[in-house]
Amino acid sequence: MTVSKNIRPFHTVLVANRGEIALRVLRTVLRLGYGTVAVYSEADRDSPHVQAAERAVCIGPAAPAQSYLNIEAILQAARLAGADAVHPGYGFLSENDAFADAVDAAGLVFIGPSGDSIRAMGNKAGAKRLMQGWGMPCIPGYEGQDQSDEVFVREAARIGFPIMCKAAAGGGGRGMRRVDTPDALPAALSSARSEARTAFGSDELILERALIDPRHVEIQLLADSHGQVVHLGERDCSVQRRHQKLIEEAPSPAVNAELRARMGQLAVDSARAMGYVGAGTMEFLLDAEGQFYFMEMNTRLQVEHAVTEAITGMDLVEWQLRVASGQALPWQQADICLQGHAMEVRLTAEDVPAGFLPQTGPVLRWRPPVDHDVRIDSALREGGQVSPHYDSMVAKIVAHGSDREEARRKLLAAVRQCVLLGLPSNQGFLADCLADAVFVQGVGVHTGFVAERMGLPPAAPAPISQTVALAALAAQVNNLPTSDHGHVHAGALGQGQAQGLLQWGEQRWRYRIRPTSCPQASDAGAGPSTAWEVQCTALGGVAPAAISASTSAAIPDHNALTPDTHTTTLTHVQWQDAAHTELALECQGLREQICSAPTDRGVHIFHAGRAWAFDCPAAHGQTEQAAGSGAVLAPLTARVLQVMVSPGQAVQAGERLLVLEAMKMEHTLTAPFTGVVRDLRVQSGGQALKGALLLLIEAEAA
């Protein structure tokens, strides 16, 4: 269906999205005086974006296909609430041509480009053909209609390895695989097709030559309905994992004024050639010689738009609204000035050492930095949940400075103070990236930065002895059972003493704790299966509320302590808040503050700029799992997409067992060693909770 695009004034905007982008759009819509309508799934009934809007309409169950991807439900919500314009945000239906057409056909204003423009750029194969016709350099590849494996194998040999296999109908790293050898191509095609079908409803693929260590650079565009198109400079999005962006900055350290002008002019000319209206982004790969190649055009607002706003002083959502209402852009290209430098990080709920696996669970503590000159876009709330139904990104943190180093420094300080407890996140990993020597220099960053500098998967950090001692203290003040299966209570000092200062009588207690989000060794030098025995002794009379915590690494299989122990003295322990979530204390004479959250399994703490989760086996009677177990556990809450084995089947080490799907991504689990499948507990189409036993592999007899 092709319909004419409605461009006219409107009075009430429905935001067809959720989370932080819905909140971000609502802020500008409210500032400009428009009426606001939110939509929400049953899972999002109490979400912040619902509370931020003047009106809100439930559009269906938690599953996106029945709510945020349900075009008719969204149009019905607009009719019910009296909205005459729709802003799609990003993700979900934002680049769905049928949605744009349906909004226009319903007589509403779609705050975005026309359905024709979305269609033209929505398919990578078609977009590349159009761009080549307009003089845009493109990466050599295959964009044909014949999707047979035989043709892909032949074309891959023509292009040359390594190659990229990409979903033609989408982006964001979904349905994308790098293939280094011919024998790996069939499996990559199958996996990419499956993920693309799930994410975009189409399993069409293209092939492209894989550039070695390129930079990912994109040009931000604005176009009105009067023929005026300008670009707002470039963003560098080279720090990625799983082909998805983690850190973005503007301008790019690799782009000078001459290159910016060339890339920008080609982007502007192409947008004008297609009659584009609204905000959009041309994405490029930039090689070491300065040659750039078109990848795709995103016909929507980008996650990283905030860094462009920071260096231009513009509100891009405001100009989306103004353009959609028929206003003309007031600038020529020469009027666009870039001021300073901006950086953004994406805070995601994921287990970094496990290969950036998305994670779900409760938000026990959420304390964004408040004393830093940064912008934070988030819909997180303490006491809420991160759902398995939606994307793993939970917040964006943006810093602006007079130059790149000032922006980086401010952003790093803010990230190190960002507290998220209750589920794994990439907060500490982001800080490590921002502090990395190559990133500090800027010029050596490319799309392989994470693999080159951090490893794939990145190594888990190791807690220092002070962190372990503080975890034991947090367990104690939250009344978790000790290893002796008792409770040790901390009480407040008597009247006239410092309020909230904690004390203990002449006593000792012992905790066995082990890290759940940081499985490497401590500074005591133990191995990955390490737990810690923490012997705490109250030192009444020596110093206010003093305890001595002696930390020794223990190997669970042998229950043996290493000879190397570390003694930490903790004094002046005092609650900082009425809710008893933050403790101030002196640790080895250094004044520190920690945030903590108890769970039924242990305790989470934020210390030394990083979140840590520790398991206390005595708190729930958990027994240690023997090393070398063949238990295959669910690494995240997910749907079981495919089961590739059956009970009694012999498997080789590394053989594919199951495919899980969560947060729009597929995750393949493989056999830990050669053996036989026993006790298969799941089937295709079922659900698996994080930590659930999926199957057992019994080792071959020696």
Tell me the per-residue pLDDT of 639-650, one tens digit each, with 9 for 90 and over: 888 899 999 899
| Distance from C-alpha of 263 to C-alpha of 48, rounded to nearest angstrom | 39
Query: What is the pTM assigned to this prediction?
Result: 0.86
CA dist 143 and 208 (Å) reads 9
Handedness of CA 448, 452, 453, 454 (dihedral sign): positive
Tell me the mean pLDDT in the region 685-693.
79
The one-letter amino acid code at 77 reads: A
Query: Per-residue pLDDT averaged across 181-193, rounded?
Result: 92
Residue 649 burial (CB count, 10 A): 14
Q: Name the amino acid, one letter, at 360.
A: T
User: Does position 482 have pLDDT exceeding 90, yes or no?
Assistant: no
Alpha-carbon gap, residue 663 to 306, rounded angstroms = 23
Q: Residue 410: which pLDDT band, with cuts at 50, 70 and 90?
A: very high
Compute CA 123 distance to the chain's CA centroid, rounded to the nearest angstrom.
25
Pair of tokens at residue 97: 């041509």
What pLDDT is recorded for position 618?
66
When pLDDT is cut at 50, 70 and 90, the band that residue 413 belongs to is very high
| pLDDT confidence of residue 327 | 98
> Which option is the CATH number for 465-619: 3.30.700, 1.20.1300, 1.10.1760, 3.40.630?
3.30.700
Instruction: Report long-range pairs for 477-482 (Cβ below 8 Å, ≥24 apart).
Output: 477/502, 477/573, 477/580, 477/583, 477/596, 478/580, 478/596, 478/598, 478/603, 479/598, 480/511, 480/598, 480/602, 480/603, 480/616, 480/618, 480/619, 481/616, 481/618, 481/619, 482/509, 482/510, 482/511, 482/618
Q: Indicate the residue type of 691.
A: G
Answer whether 489's CB lies under 8 Å from 505's CB.
Answer: no
State the average pLDDT for the chain. Answer: 88
Per-domain boundaries in the chain: 12-111, 141-209, 216-454, 465-619, 631-699
> Alpha-carbon dihedral of residues 187, 192, 195, 198, nearest 10 degrees?
-110
pLDDT in tens, 229-288: 999 999 999 999 988 999 999 999 999 999 999 999 999 999 999 999 999 999 999 998
Least confident of 44-48, 151-155, 217-221, 508-512: 508-512
How would residue 20 be classed by pLDDT, with cut points 50, 70 and 90? very high
Distance between CA 615 and CA 481 in Å, rounded? 12
| Second CATH level (architecture) for the domain 141-209 | 2-Layer Sandwich (3.30)
Range scoring the smallest mean pLDDT among 152-166, 465-479, 480-494, 680-694: 480-494
pLDDT, greater one: 509 or 414:
414
What's the pLDDT at 155?
94
pLDDT tens digits along 294-344: 999 999 999 999 999 999 999 999 999 999 999 999 999 999 999 999 999
% helix, strand, coil for the chain, step of 5:
25, 35, 40
Catalytic site positions: 300
Lowest average pLDDT, out of 198-202, 239-243, 656-660, goes to 198-202
Sequential DSSP letters for 303-314: TTHHHHHHHH--
The amino acid at 272: R
Residues 38-65, buried b or exposed e (16+ Cβ, 10 A)?
bbbbebbeebbbbebbebbbebbeeebe
Task: Kindly report the CATH class assigned to 216-454.
Answer: alpha beta
Class of domain 12-111: alpha beta
CATH number for 631-699 (one of 3.40.50.300, 2.40.50.100, 3.20.20.70, 3.30.465.10): it is: 2.40.50.100
| Residues 611, 347: Cα–Cα separation, whole Å | 13
What is the rounded average pLDDT of the residues 1-11?
A: 86
Number of H helices, E strands in the chain: 16, 41
Please tell me the least confidently modeled range out of 397-411, 599-613, 658-672.
658-672
Strand 177-179 to strand 374-378: parallel, antiparallel, or no bridges (unpaired)? unpaired
